[in-house]
C-alpha cells in the first residue's frame, strides 16, 4: 500500500531489456527535411511580410493580420522553446543519473509539491517547458509528476512573477491568486493523473515508445553527440506543432474579432468565461501575458484577470498543439476541462473576496 503503483510507476517498458534499434532511429533523413522545410516556411512568411511592406503591394488585410499574429506567436515562443530543449538536454544527458530523484521526497504529495516549484529556477515559458517535461519523463519521472511540473512552471517562473508584479503589483490579489492558483492547479491535476494505473497510456504511442528505450541504448555515443541528436529530434517534434498552433491561433483571432470577447467580458457573469476564451485564442506567452491583459484591467473584474493569467499559460491553442506531441487527445480533453474549471473557480473566488 505504501508504494501504490500508479503514483510511483514509471512508464512501462514491456519490451525491455531487448534493444530495438529500429524503434528510435538516429537521425532519419525525413527529420532533416522537415526541419529545413520548417525553416524555409518561416523565412518565407517573414519574406512575404517584409516584401508586402517594402515593395508597395499589399496583402489582403485579413491575410496580413494572420501573418502578423502567427509570426508574433512564433517569434515570441521560439527562443523559449530552444531554451526548453537545451534544458531538457541538460537533464537527459548531462545531469548525473538519479540526481533529481535522489533529492526529492518519497511522499507522493510532497514530491509533486517540490516538482511544481521547479519552475522558480527556470525562466522558461509554457512552450519551452514541454520539451523539458518530456525530458523529465524520459529521465524517469512519472507522467503525473512531469505534468505537475509542466502546469506550474510557466506560472511560477521568475520572469512571469516579475512581469505580473510590474503590471499589477499586489492590487486585488491578482499576483497572489496567480501563483497560488497555478501551484494548486498543477498539484491537483498531478494528483488526479497519478491515480491513473497506466501512466504510459497517457502518452502518445510515439513518445511512449521513445520513453521505453533503455538508458544504455546510446552507449556508443558521446554526450555531445547525444545532445545534438536530442536537439534535432526535439526541434523536429516541437517546432512544427508550434507553427501549426501559431497559425491556428492567428487564424481564430482574425476570424473572431477580439472586441467580441472584450464586450462579452465586461459582464461580470461572463467575464471569466470570456477571459478563458481570450487566453485560449491569443496564445500569448506567460512571460508577457500580464502586460497584454493590463489594459483590460479597468474594464474587467479582477477575478477574470486572474483566470486569464492562470488558464492561459496552461491551456491555449498553441499549447494544445505542442502538448499533442506528448499526450493523447483524451488526456488533453480531461486536462482542459479540469484546468478550465479550476481557473474559473479561482476567478470566482477572487471576485468574491477582493
Partner 1 sequence: MSRTSTELRPRSLGRFRRALSTVVVSLVVLCGVFFTLGYLQGPKLSSAQVDVKAVIDQPGQQLRLFANQPVAQLKAAQVVVTPGAAHTVTTKGDLIAVQFAGRLEYGTRYQVRIDGVTSIYQAQPSTISYTFTTASPDLYYLHRGQPNDDIMRTTLGATGGTVVYSAPHIQDFVRSEGALAVATLADDKTSSLALVSLTDGAVEQVKLPEAGVVQKLGASPTGTMIGFTFTSAGDSITPAYSSTLMFLDLQGARVVAPVTGLDGKPLRVLAWQMMPEGTGLLALSRERSLFLIDPLTAGAVTPLGQFNDLGLVSRDGTVVTVNDPFGTAVLTIADGTQVRIAASPVDNSGSPTYLGVAELVPTGGRVEKVVIAQPGGKRFSSVLAFDDGTTSTVLYRTPNDAGSIESFSISPNGQYVAIDTVPDTSAAVSDGYFYDARFVGTETVFVEIASGKVVKSLDGFSLNW
Q: In this chain, which of 2, 61, 259, 298 binds partner 1, going by CB under 8 A?
A: 298
By the rule CB under 8 A, 172 interacts with partner 1? yes
**Joined grid coordinates for residue 238:** 516541437
Cis check: omega of the bond before 144, within 30 degrees of 0: no
Residue 345: CB minimum distance to partner 1, A = 5
Estimate the share of the chain in helix, then strand, then coil, as percent rounded to the nearest 5: 75, 0, 25
Helical spans, DSSP H, in 204-297: 205-212, 223-255, 258-265, 268-282, 289-293
By the rule CB under 8 A, 68 interacts with partner 1? no
- Given a contact cutoff of 8 angstroms between Cβ atoms, the answer to whether 130 and 313 are in contact is no
* CA 165 vs CA 41, 83, 88, 300, 313: distances in Å: 37, 24, 28, 18, 16
CB nearer to partner 1: pick between 99 and 333: 333
Q: Which DSSP helix (H) or strand (E) runs through 159? A: helix 158-168
By the rule CB under 8 A, 12 interacts with partner 1? yes
* CA 289 vs CA 44, 71, 76, 159, 296: distances in Å: 28, 17, 11, 11, 12
Residue 352: CB minimum distance to partner 1, A = 5
By the rule CB under 8 A, 338 interacts with partner 1? yes
**Joined grid coordinates for residue 168:** 499589477
x/- site string to partner 1, residues 238 to 267, per CB under 8 A? Answer: ----------------------------xx
CB nearer to partner 1: pick between 104 and 349: 349
Residues 176-195 close enough to bind partner 1 by CB under 8 A: 188, 192-193, 195
CB nearer to partner 1: pick between 72 and 267: 267
Residues 6+ apart with CB under 8 A from 270: 264
Check residue 297 and report its DSSP letter. Answer: G
By the rule CB under 8 A, 351 interacts with partner 1? yes
By the rule CB under 8 A, 211 interacts with partner 1? no
By the rule CB under 8 A, 55 interacts with partner 1? no
CB nearer to partner 1: pick between 199 and 236: 199
Q: How far apart are CA 173 and CA 171, in angstroms?
A: 5
Q: How far apart are CA 205 and CA 201, in angstroms?
A: 8
By the rule CB under 8 A, 301 interacts with partner 1? yes
Candidate ranges 47-55, 116-124, 229-237, 299-307; the one touching partner 1 (CB under 8 A): 299-307
By the rule CB under 8 A, 302 interacts with partner 1? yes
Q: In this chain, which of 107, 198, 222, 329 binds partner 1, going by CB under 8 A?
A: 198
Check residue 106 and report its DSSP letter. Answer: S
CB nearer to partner 1: pick between 70 and 164: 164
- Given a contact cutoff of 8 angstroms between Cβ atoms, the answer to whether 283 and 275 are in contact is no
How many chain residues bind partner 1 (CB under 8 A)? 33
- Given a contact cutoff of 8 angstroms between Cβ atoms, the answer to whether 271 and 304 are in contact is yes
By the rule CB under 8 A, 334 interacts with partner 1? yes
By the rule CB under 8 A, 1 interacts with partner 1? no
By the rule CB under 8 A, 13 interacts with partner 1? no
Candidate ranges 65-73, 224-232, 280-288, 296-304; the one touching partner 1 (CB under 8 A): 296-304
Closest CA to 184 of 346, 313, 353: 346
Helix axes 223-255 and 61-89, enclosed angle (nearest 10): 150
By the rule CB under 8 A, 47 interacts with partner 1? no
Beta bridge partners of 203: 327
Residues 100-139 close enough to bind partner 1 by CB under 8 A: none
By the rule CB under 8 A, 268 interacts with partner 1? yes
Residue numbers at the binding site for partner 1 (CB under 8 A): 5-6, 12, 171-172, 188, 192-193, 195-198, 266-269, 298-299, 301-303, 334, 337-338, 341-342, 344-345, 348-349, 351-352, 354
Amino acid at each position: 500500500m505504501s508504494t501504490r503503483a500508479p503514483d510511483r510507476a514509471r512508464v512501462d517498458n514491456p519490451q525491455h531489456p531487448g534493444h530495438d534499434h529500429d524503434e528510435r532511429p538516429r537521425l532519419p533523413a525525413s527529420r532533416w527535411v522537415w526541419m529545413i522545410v520548417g525553416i524555409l516556411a518561416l523565412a518565407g512568411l517573414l519574406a512575404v511580410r517584409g516584401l508586402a511592406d517594402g515593395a508597395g503591394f499589399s496583402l489582403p488585410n485579413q491575410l496580413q493580420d494572420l501573418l502578423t499574429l502567427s509570426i508574433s506567436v512564433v517569434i515570441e515562443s521560439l527562443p523559449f522553446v530552444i531554451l526548453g530543449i537545451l534544458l531538457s538536454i541538460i537533464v537527459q544527458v548531462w545531469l548525473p543519473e538519479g540526481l533529481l530523484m535522489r533529492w526529492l521526497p518519497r511522499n507522493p504529495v510532497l514530491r509533486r509539491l517540490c516538482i511544481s516549484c521547479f519552475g522558480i529556477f527556470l525562466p522558461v515559458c509554457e512552450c519551452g517547458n514541454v520539451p523539458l517535461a518530456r525530458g523529465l519523463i524520459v529521465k524517469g519521472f512519472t507522467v503525473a509528476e512531469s505534468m505537475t511540473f509542466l502546469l506550474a512552471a510557466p506560472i511560477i517562473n521568475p520572469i512571469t512573477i516579475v512581469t505580473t508584479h510590474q503590471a499589477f503589483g499586489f492590487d486585488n490579489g491578482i499576483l497572489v491568486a496567480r501563483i497560488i492558483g497555478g501551484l494548486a492547479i498543477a498539484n491537483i491535476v498531478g494528483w488526479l493523473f497519478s491515480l491513473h494505473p497506466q501512466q504510459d497510456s497517457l502518452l502518445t504511442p510515439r513518445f511512449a515508445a521513445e520513453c521505453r528505450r533503455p538508458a544504455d541504448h546510446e552507449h556508443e555515443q558521446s554526450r555531445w553527440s547525444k545532445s545534438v541528436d536530442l536537439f534535432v529530434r526535439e526541434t523536429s517534434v516541437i517546432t512544427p506543432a508550434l507553427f501549426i498552433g501559431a497559425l491556428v491561433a492567428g487564424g481564430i483571432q482574425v476570424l473572431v474579432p477580439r472586441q467580441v470577447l472584450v464586450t462579452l467580458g465586461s459582464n461580470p457573469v461572463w467575464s471569466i468565461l470570456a477571459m478563458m476564451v481570450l487566453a485560449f485564442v491569443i496564445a500569448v506567452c506567460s512571460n508577457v501575458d500580464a502586460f497584454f491583459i493590463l489594459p483590460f484591467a479597468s474594464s474587467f473584474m479582477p477575478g477574470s484577470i486572474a483566470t486569464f493569467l492562470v488558464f492561459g499559460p496552461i491551456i491555449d491553442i498553441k499549447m494544445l498543439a505542442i502538448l499533442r506531441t506528448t499526450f493523447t487527445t483524451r488526456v488533453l480533453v480531461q486536462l482542459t476541462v479540469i484546468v478550465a474549471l479550476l481557473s474559473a473557480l479561482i476567478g470566482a473566488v477572487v471576485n468574491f473576496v477582493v
